[in-house]
Structure 1
Amino acid sequence: MMDAKFRMKHSNSLAQCMLTCEECANRAIEENMDCYGHCKACAELCNVTMRLMSVNSMHAGETAAICAKACDHCAEMCASHKTDHCQTCAQSCREASAACRDIQAAYEKMGKK
């Protein structure tokens, strides 16, 4: 089982990404930008990954792998935009992607792919 410090650190990264993506998605609608869907998907997957990890679900590692991909796609999309909220979102997504890869590796090490 992973320790509380690991869970807290990675949950914070996922929570921050979720909030940043939600804000970016809301602004994307207002500004008619094409990153809305990427931001919403990323936010939802961060939320699910965080929740599964909090209950030490055997599916958290697999979900983290999918979440990392969504974070990477969202970061790429938002990085291509010049707005501050998209640049902030891209950075938050990169950090969450790294956290997801750590989570995935931890679950694989525990035998919970």
Structure 2
Amino acid sequence: MDEKLKKVMDATYECMQACNNCFDACLNEEHLDMMRECIRLDRECADICQMVLSFSGREGSLRNDLVSLCGTICQACGKECEQHDHDHCQECAKACFTCADACRSFVNA
């Protein structure tokens, strides 16, 4: 397996896990209205990461487009999560930014 593809797969798995954890934890926060965008992006990001994992072994012509989209969504989710002081949001932001970087590196290779 290509090293850049492995890096994307590892990063998307970690990001998916962090987003799912953040999503669940945000639902229990006191000010749920303030967490609405974070929750929405956590779900979108986790879903696209899972899709990348499902498609990563295929060498289809649209794989790079999917990985690029994943990087875009991860970047947006990371920016939203880093605005919140909760540990789960900060951990999610870090995983999202790592995944976004891995996706960009893969697409630009």
Normalised TM-score (structure 2): 0.87
Could you tell me which residue of structure 1 aligns to residue 108 of structure 2? 105
Task: Tell me how far 1:69 sits from its aligned partner.
Answer: 1.1
Q: Match for 2:91: what amino acid?
A: T
The correspondence of residues 11-30 of structure 1 with structure 2, limited to 5 A, is: 11-30=9-28
Could you tell me which residue of structure 2 aligns to residue 58 of structure 1? 61
Structure 1 runs of 4+ with >6 Å offset: none
Q: Match for 2:104: what amino acid?
A: R
Aligned partners of 1:17 and 1:46 also within 8 Å: yes
> May I ask how many residue pairs the two structures share in their alignment?
104
**TM-align CA RMSD:** 1.3
Gap runs ≥5 in structure 1: 107-113
The correspondence of residues 1-113 of structure 1 with structure 2, limited to 5 A, is: 3-31=1-29, 32=32, 33-34=35-36, 35-106=38-109
Task: Tell me how far 1:105 sits from its aligned partner.
Answer: 2.1
Could you tell me which residue of structure 2 aligns to residue 110 of structure 1? none
Q: Distance in 2 between matches of 1:57 and 1:67?
A: 16
Task: Tell me how far 1:54 sits from its aligned partner.
Answer: 1.6
Secondary structure of the corresponding residue to residue 82 of structure 1: coil
Q: Distance in 2 between matches of 1:67 and 1:84?
A: 23
Percent identity, aligned pairs only, is 26
Gap runs ≥5 in structure 2: none
Normalised TM-score (structure 1): 0.85
